[in-house]
């Protein structure tokens, strides 16, 4: 990885930036979660669940563009610090604007 690049992932995120700090690179490790976005994943669910999911999806999900915002913020926020977690600000982090 080159200086200034970001690493994403939830497993081991606090440890991910340790080795790079010794070498004084500007690389940090942050985590991002899209929440529950209304994508085409429901298409592969069993037929018995597909219809109820179609009705419930608008109530419990957010648009895919909103789901992308936490990742975009984590990757571009100049104030991001290593070990931060970005996700939706709504109840149970299911949907909403990105927050940390």
Give residue-wise pLDDT tens across range 12-33: 555 555 555 555 667 889 999 9
- DSSP label at 6? E
pLDDT of residue 1: 41
Which of 83, 99, 81 shows the shortest CA–CA distance to 91? Answer: 99
pTM of the model: 0.64
pLDDT, tens digit (0-9, with 9 covering 90-100), for 50-92? 888 888 888 888 999 999 999 999 999 988 889 999 999 888 8
Measure CA of the first residue to CA of the last residue in the chain; give whole Å: 25
pLDDT of residue 8: 47
pLDDT of residue 10: 53
Element (H, E) at 5: none
């Amino acid at each position: 990885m080159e200086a200034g690049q970001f690493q994403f992932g939830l497993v081991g995120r606090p440890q991910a930036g340790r080795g790079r700090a010794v070498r004084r690179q500007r690389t940090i490790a942050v985590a991002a979660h899209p929440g529950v976005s209304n994508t085409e994943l429901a298409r592969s669910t069993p037929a018995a669940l597909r219809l109820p999911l179609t009705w419930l999806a608008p109530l419990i999900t957010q648009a895919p563009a909103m789901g992308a915002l936490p990742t975009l913020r984590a990757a571009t926020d100049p104030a991001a610090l290593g070990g931060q977690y970005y996700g939706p600000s709504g109840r149970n982090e299911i949907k909403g604007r990105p927050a940390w």
